[in-house]
Amino acid sequence: MDTRLYVSLILEKIVSFYNLLKNKNMQMQNNEFRVEFPTKLNKSNFNLDPYFITGLIEAEGSFSIMKFKDKRAKYDINIGLRFKISMLANETPLLNMVKSFFGCGNIFIRKDGNVSFEVKDMYSINKYIVPHFCNYPLRGTKLLDFLTLKKSVDIINSKKHLTKKGIDQIIEMSNSMNS
């Protein structure tokens, strides 16, 4: 590659990133930049294959059950579910396409050069994430993590997580996850 072309491409990336940082929709939270990108983009522009999305998750994604100590909670703990894809910052356009594909979630750019797409709200996990992986299933250990997340979703949807037994069941399942 011609050196001038290479330098030009690098400068273009630097200018693009600088403009991203100036974006009024960017907020700093816990050493991460939170960027609000439009959720609804024209999907016909992207044409991401659902199997490509599943393969990407197989390589770069994770399903998590997060536990938070909270003295205000009935059993001193809150449970949160998370679907996440983490990549290097140069893959931000791909994660924006994934965000558009699902029509939900947030993009986080961290100071260490990583970027992640995350979905944490139950509505989006129920409406978009679970149905996708039921229709386009994973195959490796991520399948086991997804099935654990799905079982946790079922417990939460049935309100069993409001009981000590339900909370304990979700915590026990989270300990078996690979993420």
26-175 under CATH 3.30.420.40, yes or no: no
Question: What is the pLDDT at residue 164?
Answer: 79
pLDDT digits (tens, 9 = 90+) for 115-161: 999 999 999 999 999 999 999 999 888 999 999 999 999 988 888 77
Letter for the amino acid at 116?
Answer: S
Pairing of strands 106-110, 77-88: unpaired
Question: What is the pLDDT at residue 80?
Answer: 83
Question: What is the pLDDT at residue 34?
Answer: 60
The domain limits of the chain are 26-175
d(CA 174, CA 105): 22
**Helix/strand/coil for 86:** strand
Which single residue is written with the structure tokens 């699902």? 102
Question: What is the pLDDT at residue 133?
Answer: 96
User: Which residue, among 94, 43, 138, 106, has the nearest Cα to 130 in the 3D structure?
Assistant: 138
Question: What is the pLDDT at residue 33?
Answer: 57
pLDDT digits (tens, 9 = 90+) for 130-142: 999 999 999 888 9
Question: What is the pLDDT at residue 62?
Answer: 94
Question: What is the pLDDT at residue 38?
Answer: 47
Question: What is the pLDDT at residue 134?
Answer: 95
Which residues are CB-contacts of 106 (< 8 A; sequence separation ≥ 6)? 34, 36, 99, 117, 118, 119
Residues of the chain with pLDDT under 50: 1, 24, 37-45
